[in-house]
C-alpha cells in the first residue's frame, strides 16, 4: 500500500532552472491535485485533474505546468524557477472530487536560490 508517492523529498534549485516534481498513486483515484504550503497560509491549489487527459488550473497556476497521461501519474513542472516558488509541495489524490477525503504524499521541500 504505497498510497501517494512524491519524489524528490528535497530539492534546491537556482533561479531560472526547470524541474519536474513527480507524483504517483496506486489507488486508482481519478482526482489528483497539487498544492503548495507556505508558512501562515492555507494550502493553495496549483493545478488539478479529474481524470487521465484532463487538467485544470487552481488558485495559483502561474509558473507551473501539469499533465495527466495516465491515471497513476501527475507530474508538476516548474518552467523557470523563481525564489517565490520556494515552498513545500504536496500532491494529493481522491476517488473523485465530491465528498471524498484526499490522500496526501509526503511532500517535496523545494528551495529556489
CB of 55 to another protein, least distance (A): 14
Rg (Cα) of the chain, in Å, rounded? 13
Q: Would you count residue 102 as binding another protein (CB under 8 A)?
A: yes
Region from 10-18, 21-29, 36-44, 73-81 binding another protein, contact rule CB under 8 A = 36-44
CA–CA dist 94, 25 (Å, integer): 10
Chosen residue from 45, 52, 60, 82 binding another protein by CB under 8 A: 45
Chosen residue from 13, 85, 93, 105 binding another protein by CB under 8 A: 105
Cβ-contact 15, 78 below 8 angstroms: no
Is residue 17 within a helix (H) or strand (E), and if so which, with residue range? none
Amino acid at each position: 500500500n504505497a498510497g501517494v508517492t512524491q519524489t524528490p523529498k528535497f530539492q534546491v534549485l537556482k533561479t531560472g532552472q526547470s524541474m519536474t516534481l513527480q507524483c504517483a498513486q496506486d489507488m486508482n483515484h481519478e482526482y489528483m491535485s497539487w498544492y503548495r504550503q507556505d508558512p501562515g497560509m492555507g494550502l493553495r491549489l496549483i493545478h488539478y485533474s479529474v481524470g487521465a487527459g484532463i487538467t485544470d488550473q487552481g488558485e495559483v497556476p502561474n509558473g507551473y505546468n501539469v499533465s495527466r497521461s495516465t491515471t497513476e501519474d501527475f507530474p508538476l513542472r516548474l518552467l523557470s524557477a523563481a525564489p517565490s516558488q520556494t515552498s513545500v509541495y504536496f500532491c494529493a489524490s481522491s476517488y473523485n472530487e465530491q465528498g471524498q477525503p484526499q490522500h496526501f504524499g509526503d511532500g517535496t521541500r523545494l528551495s529556489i536560490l
